[in-house]
Structure 1
């Protein structure tokens, strides 16, 4: 009888483990429609590859993505370079496991409203006295790196260089606001702008690509350090393997990335160092 009860309990525990759901999220770097398209397909792919229930959890802001990860509301997340650093610092044992092939050498575009008359330049353009918008406050490509290069190239802070500085919230919104003339100049993720060009987005006709930053490491998939205890030994490695094996052209095009490659925390040390220099993390 005791043996039977023990076997019954072990079966129950095993069924509970297999019934666990892997929750994942992502920084809201584009409009909601683009995010739902991208991550709904990732959700389906991961369920099939891992054999567990997987659910995408949308969030409203970059800080909300970090909080959800830290509080174990999600166990996996698609972060930018800076948000990934912040999430890992707040979650002992968390590690970056994959990045897009293009994320090794990411760049930020500086764009201007066409009516400004500003033209493309090989060196940093003269933007003194213009109005300027970043993306989200904790965006790597929309704030951290453009902020760094503005200071590096001009010797001035954004507040000193520009007549007015704002934060649009995401890259798609930066493009819309600069195209509308609400801001004369803005900085955004190059992939979002290139995708808008490829799609023939009307905003492109009203903007000019001025300058691009030198390359830096950016987006990454980061996983909590306690997933093996929850889903079984080696689960984090299985998630990494599934991401690296993702070759569905439709899913990859939605990022857009040509594929995913291995990543580790050390890859993002330059981002952490820059963030500390700008007092964006303690």
Structure 2
């Protein structure tokens, strides 16, 4: 055997040993380089995007600590986008209104899971508002201009429309014009600016706007309130890892107003606490949507 052959074989052995070492080390490298698991979250755009981001930031940090996942909040342009993103697995968790949840349940073939709701959402209401002194009750709305929120909003459109119909008022027949502001705070702006003689929004946003002095209740006033109904919830896509689902649910249920750091999160969500919810709570919303002609 020549010295050159011996050298080549020695070189090959060294190469093979190095390759084996790299192969045994590569899983560790890939594990260390792997991105943390991400929880993709969004919400129906019932308020300005900046306000949604502000409200979610502390909650997102809390959920990240509770689940061990990176939490990313992505605002969307409209209600339908949230439903479609859940159905196409672009979102894992979403803050939905009652009607939006019903739409998501239908769109996902019944797989979307409502996890928790604020205690307040079990008896939610909408407020009818006006700056017109001639409007004192729902019957006075006939012949007037009126603003709903977004077409798919439970508290800004569906349930107020349903209760108007129960009171014998058909919006498209009885109102002079019907407008959709797109969001609850925008509805207040419409009425305050005289773009609509009356409008409707959810009670929680109205109370917040009054508390923060973003509306003057001596100029824009509440003249009627709906009966209570189930509304908002946090919903997960149905094929999300069950272990992750349980972590998310447990995290919400563990929020304790007696703890200062939790109280701050709850106050931003305008919640006294979160409670478990289930699909049947929203059957009444589905029935109302069918009655109002918004679902077949």
TM-score by length of structure 2 reads 0.85
Q: Say if 2:134 and 2:140, in contact at 8 Å, map to a contact too.
A: no
The secondary structure found in structure 1 opposite 2:201 is strand
1:186 to 188, 199, 210: 199
Greater RCO (CA < 8 Å, at least 6 residues apart): 1
1:163 to 171, 176, 182: 176
1:175 matches 2:188 = yes
Could you give the per-residue CA deviations for residues 137-185 of structure 1, whole angstroms, max 9, x where no partner exists? 000000000110111101x420111111110000000011101111000
1:28 to 34, 37, 45: 45
1:275 matches 2:293 = no
The farther-off stretch of 142-151 and 204-213 is 204-213
Q: CA deviation at 1:270?
A: 0.5
Corresponding residue pairs, total: 271
Q: CA deviation at 1:81?
A: 0.3
Alignment of 1:80-229 (within 5 A): 80-92=97-109, 93-113=111-131, 115-119=132-136, 124-154=138-168, 156-228=169-241
1:240 matches 2:249 = yes
Gap change, CA 1:205 and 1:90, over 3 Å in 2: same
Aligned equivalents of 2:264 and 2:178: distance in 1? 37
TM-score by length of structure 1 reads 0.89
Please tell me the root mean square deviation across aligned C-alpha atoms, in Å: 2.3
Could you give the per-residue CA deviations for residues 231-255 of structure 1, whole angstroms, max 9, x where no partner exists? xx52211111111112322221222
Q: Say if 2:98 and 2:232, in contact at 8 Å, map to a contact too.
A: yes
Gap change, CA 1:9 and 1:264, over 3 Å in 2: farther
Gap change, CA 1:234 and 1:15, over 3 Å in 2: farther
Q: Say if 2:129 and 2:198, in contact at 8 Å, map to a contact too.
A: yes
Aligned equivalents of 2:214 and 2:63: distance in 1? 31
The secondary structure found in structure 2 opposite 1:253 is helix
Alignment of 1:241-256 (within 5 A): 241-247=250-256, 248-256=262-270
The farther-off stretch of 248-257 and 208-217 is 248-257
The farther-off stretch of 6-15 and 194-203 is 6-15
Q: Say if 1:118 and 1:208, in contact at 8 Å, map to a contact too.
A: no
Gap change, CA 1:6 and 1:106, over 3 Å in 2: farther
Q: Say if 2:160 and 2:226, in contact at 8 Å, map to a contact too.
A: yes
Could you give the per-residue CA deviations for residues 36-95 of structure 1, whole angstroms, max 9, x where no partner exists? 111122211110111111111111111111121111111100000000111122124221
Q: Say if 1:109 and 1:187, in contact at 8 Å, map to a contact too.
A: yes
Query: Which is higher, the Rg of structure 1 or of structure 2?
Result: 2
